Structure 1
Amino acid sequence: MNLPSAFLTRMQEMLGEEYEAFLQSYESGHYQSLRLNPRKTDREEFMEKSPFHLTPVAWEKNGFYYSEEDTPGKHPYHEAGVYYIQEASAMAPVGYLDVQPGDYVLDLCAAPGGKSTQIGAAMQGKGILICNEIHPARAKILSENVERMGLTNAVVTNESPERLSAYFPEYFDKILVDAPCSGEGMFRKHEEACSEWSPENVELCAKRQDSVLDEAAAMLKKGGRLVYSTCTFALQEDEGSVARFLLRHPEFSIKETHRYDGMEPGRPDWAGTEPVPDGMEKTIRLWPHKLHGEGHFLAVLEKTGEVPEGYRARSLYGIQKGIAPKDFAAWKEFERESLKKQFDGIFLLFGDQLYLAPKDMPALKGLKVLRPGLHLGTMKKGRFEPAHALALSLSPKDAVHCCNLSGDSQEARQWINGMTLSKDGEKGWQLVCVDGYSLGWGKLAGGILKNHYPKGLRKTM
């Protein structure tokens, strides 16, 4: 691997005697891993069904390494949202966010969605999750991953941090800032990151991180938790970013946290500030020569104070108002005929598209919103057509009619490629599943199950 010479010189200065071990880690290849979706399965169930060779990731209960011979991205389970292919070190920051069901949570720099979907899983469908990405193309990928993993309480926005902070003053219980960075920790996994690296880009990223963190601070409640993370080794972007933030925001402090085997404390002498804020050794570095993962950094920050008893977070425009029941009557008919589960929340209509937003969702007037909650489907003249997102949020017990395919069958792969199936049964909508995991919708008529798998997602597997 052709690593930048300026990068190597700095790493040698940083690591001293450990430098050779660090270099050697680039010759060993990177570890591949996935994270199970607890909204779809649990460890015990998946270990029984799994066609892969799995070993646990120490810092994430749903994380597993898989072997080189495994191809989880080409298995029907992937399309069913049973797991998310995610680098092991990247699983660490969300665990330190300590998300609880019912929290109001912001993932400020969220694409492609690994950490957002990890947060959503911890929330168990309760509370409000805002997943934001400033770049439109990446925000679209984020929205697709939120859909695939079956999240029901997530809102996807495409905004700048400055715009969001105007809407959400001291609103969130927890905020994740997985900051845009120089990506040095990903050189082993993504060699193209090497060609994009420069000392000037490191400085540019550090300045951008200062701005993003300032906006995040304004959106966090008193007593709330902010986790800052990067996938770089650069001093200016790691200890440096945290130190500069603490000097600008004395209302924050670094929280003492548990470090797993192989994780190292941050270095106060790498802060690059005068004075050096207290607690820099409580930050955490993940080194590729110390553990089975790529290079990462994280810090757990807490905001001083407590919110008054009975405090209710309020966004700029208050609570989102829903549409009247008469405006989604076709949905209610579909719900009665095809579902065993009843949905509760705020019903929203965008054109002919019906969404279910979480209760108490903030009004999003003026914001660029890609996904305002769970996409239920399309309101057509005299009927309702369910959305793929709705299917992926369900389990077989939620649907009146199901068609279950075997994960290792040709039928399952053909279904994902858009083929129809021959099937007997009562006509109407059927939840198509693979080994009990929801995969999409089919509509049965005349012994043929018509495929409603979205054309844009169809693929040969």
Structure 2
Amino acid sequence: MSNKLPNELVRRLSADKSFDTEAFVTIHETTQKSNAIRINPAKQADITHLKAEKQVPWCKEGYYLSERPIYTLDPLFHAGCYYVQEASSMFLTHAIHELGLHHSPKKALDLCAAPGGKSTLLNASLHPESLLVANEIIKSRVTILADNLMKWGNPNVVVTNNDPSAFNRLPGYFDLMVVDAPCSGSGMFRKDSTAIDEWSDANVKLCSERQRRILAASIASLKTNGYLFYSTCSYSTEENEDIVDWLIAEFDMISVPLKIKDEWQIAETTSAKYQARSFRFYPHKIEGEGFFFAVLQKRKIQDTFSMKRIKSEKSDVPQHILQKWLQTDNELFAFSHQENIHVIPNRYELDLRALRNVLYLRNAGIQIGKVAGRELVPSHDLALSNYILAEIPFLELDLEDALNFLRKEVLPVELNTTGQVGWILIKYKGMNLGWIKTMSNRINNYYPKEIRIVNL
């Protein structure tokens, strides 16, 4: 394994006379790396222990940390109070606000969404009544995407596992489409030195071809005048500005400029053919990793998906179950999915039915649990939901006991100082972590086995 940057990549970057090659090479030789998190605005937690000392300039919820903690040993991380994300990637929230996309409900698609950084950002930054479809092409990665959105706690999300071509069955459906495309990864050389050995001209060409296939297969799902956010973590023009020019030529799109502040030190570029404006993040100029970002708007007159045949149906979920566990004044529609009860905002009931007809849904809304007899066995998703009823009994734990809970260890019955029996929420610093079920002589730990803390 070598930490030496590929000569061909450096040569191409150096062709721009304004590019500081020496600073770029030097920053890759240092061990200093930025650490950043983005807080969940729906879960106002005390994160002073993280030493979040400086705000990310283009994202008000983003913070740089003075040192990298062991996130796995922080219960607030498991509670979904924040997401660990590269500061460069948080630029999407600036684009959303610059374009005013947060002022009214939108339908958004995050096409290549795992592990979920941009999806949770979209979910937090768009209007709260928006609908987000978060898709992951690779089946093995969709679970982590669903888990991260579950921890984020909002019901206006559908997680799908589909090939990009499936979305062309929803023509003109989305107002916003985000494609953080699979790429050659040169922007992540500092984070992953193995990527240096894997980089080659041939791989750049292969990635460029794959990016075009992904975009061509799904672009019809974006409505006329809808916005496309295209990004990569590559420095190669073939994967960045050349793709933007291709989109403009092939799909009647226009480049959309964004205002940025000079002190942010983001490099603004123009493409060779259409002088389309894009943004490059270089680690020797900004506190973050390599990133490319462009905004395009679709001008082509696009046929639109017809909702006329989609009919509303009465929910078969007993209302008393919802009232016992959820803030039902938030107008949620309950439905069954893979033997579980889920809820989604009423306004998207028909959209849910339409999506079910054409896509494979990995998750939809908030899964609240299974009905056994007349009662609900609550799910972990419900515990981390932002819509859970505030009056549900809970037990507040200190750090040591909270970590034992997250390890799915047996908890001593003495912890239940109130003597409550039945389903009880576990909290840490006021934030929900999951369920226990208490009895007179024992506590059953219901933290999901598949996400428990191991080996720490």
Normalising by the residue count of structure 2, what TM-score does the alignment of the two structures yield? 0.88
Name the residue aligned to 1:257. 258
Name the residue aligned to 2:317. 328
Q: Measured at CA, do residues 336 and 219 of structure 1 come closer, stay the same or move farther in structure 2, by a change above 3 Å?
A: closer
Q: Deviation at 1:289?
A: 1.1
Name the residue aligned to 1:380. 372
Q: Does 1:134 align with 2:137?
A: yes
Q: Deviation at 1:343?
A: 5.6
Contact 1:152 1:373 in 2 (8 A): yes
Aligned match of 1:436 in 430, 439, 450? 430
- Of stretches 224-233 and 14-23 in structure 1, the one that deviates more from structure 2 is 14-23
Q: Does 1:230 align with 2:232?
A: yes
> 1 CA distance for matches of 2:212 and 2:430?
46
Deviation digits for residues 187-241 of structure 1, max 9, x if unmatched? 1111122222211111111122223233443112222211111111001111111
Q: Deviation at 1:337?
A: 3.7
Name the residue aligned to 1:52. 51
Q: Deviation at 1:248?
A: 1.3
Q: Measured at CA, do residues 198 and 83 of structure 1 come closer, stay the same or move farther in structure 2, by a change above 3 Å?
A: same
Q: Identity over aligned residues, as a percent?
A: 32
Name the residue aligned to 1:113. 116
Q: Does 1:152 align with 2:155?
A: yes
> 2 CA distance for matches of 1:124 and 1:434?
29
Q: Measured at CA, do residues 84 and 320 of structure 1 come closer, stay the same or move farther in structure 2, by a change above 3 Å?
A: farther
- Secondary structure (helix, strand or coil) at the match of 1:226 reads strand
> 1 CA distance for matches of 2:377 and 2:330?
16
Name the residue aligned to 1:349. 336
Q: Measured at CA, do residues 451 and 398 of structure 1 come closer, stay the same or move farther in structure 2, by a change above 3 Å?
A: same
The correspondence of residues 159-174 of structure 1 with structure 2, limited to 5 A, is 159-166=162-169, 168-174=170-176
Q: Measured at CA, do residues 11 and 17 of structure 1 come closer, stay the same or move farther in structure 2, by a change above 3 Å?
A: closer
> 2 CA distance for matches of 1:320 and 1:416?
43
Q: Does 1:88 align with 2:87?
A: yes
Deviation digits for residues 91-139 of structure 1, max 9, x if unmatched? 1134313442521110011111100011111246422110011110111
Structure 2: where are the runs of 5+ without partners? none
> 2 CA distance for matches of 1:397 and 1:348?
19
The correspondence of residues 52-451 of structure 1 with structure 2, limited to 5 A, is 52-68=51-67, 70-98=69-97, 99-100=101-102, 102-123=105-126, 125-166=128-169, 168-250=170-252, 252-260=253-261, 261-268=264-271, 271=272, 276-278=273-275, 280=276, 282-304=277-299, 314=305, 319=310, 324-325=314-315, 327-329=316-318, 332-339=319-326, 341-342=328-329, 344-358=331-345, 359-360=347-348, 361-362=351-352, 363=354, 364-394=356-386, 398-406=390-398, 409-418=399-408, 419-421=410-412, 422-423=415-416, 424-446=418-440, 448-451=442-445
> 1 CA distance for matches of 2:81 and 2:382?
15
Q: Deviation at 1:384?
A: 1.6
> 2 CA distance for matches of 1:316 and 1:342?
27
Q: Which amino acid aligns with 1:353?
A: N
Contact 1:153 1:373 in 2 (8 A): yes
Aligned residue pairs: how many? 437
Q: Deviation at 1:180?
A: 1.1
Name the residue aligned to 2:450. 456
- Of stretches 171-180 and 258-267 in structure 1, the one that deviates more from structure 2 is 258-267
> 2 CA distance for matches of 1:237 and 1:374?
36
> 1 CA distance for matches of 2:430 and 2:251?
49
Deviation digits for residues 148-192 of structure 1, max 9, x if unmatched? 2213111111111111112x1111111111111111100111112
> 2 CA distance for matches of 1:356 and 1:136?
24
- Of stretches 55-64 and 352-361 in structure 1, the one that deviates more from structure 2 is 352-361
> 2 CA distance for matches of 1:138 and 1:398?
33
Q: Which amino acid aligns with 2:432?
A: S
Contact 1:221 1:303 in 2 (8 A): yes
Deviation digits for residues 361-384 of structure 1, max 9, x if unmatched? 242224222112211112234432
- Of stretches 61-70 and 395-404 in structure 1, the one that deviates more from structure 2 is 395-404
Q: Deviation at 1:316?
A: 7.3
Normalising by the residue count of structure 1, what TM-score does the alignment of the two structures yield? 0.87
Structure 1: where are the runs of 5+ without partners? none
Contact 1:181 1:237 in 2 (8 A): yes
> 2 CA distance for matches of 1:290 and 1:111?
27
> 1 CA distance for matches of 2:127 and 2:225?
23
Name the residue aligned to 1:37. 40
Q: Which amino acid aligns with 1:410?
A: E
> 2 CA distance for matches of 1:259 and 1:124?
22
Q: Measured at CA, do residues 22 and 266 of structure 1 come closer, stay the same or move farther in structure 2, by a change above 3 Å?
A: same
Q: Measured at CA, do residues 415 and 258 of structure 1 come closer, stay the same or move farther in structure 2, by a change above 3 Å?
A: same
> 1 CA distance for matches of 2:118 and 2:309?
27
Contact 2:382 2:388 in 1 (8 A): no
> 1 CA distance for matches of 2:105 and 2:442?
42
- Secondary structure (helix, strand or coil) at the match of 1:429 reads strand
Contact 1:321 1:346 in 2 (8 A): no
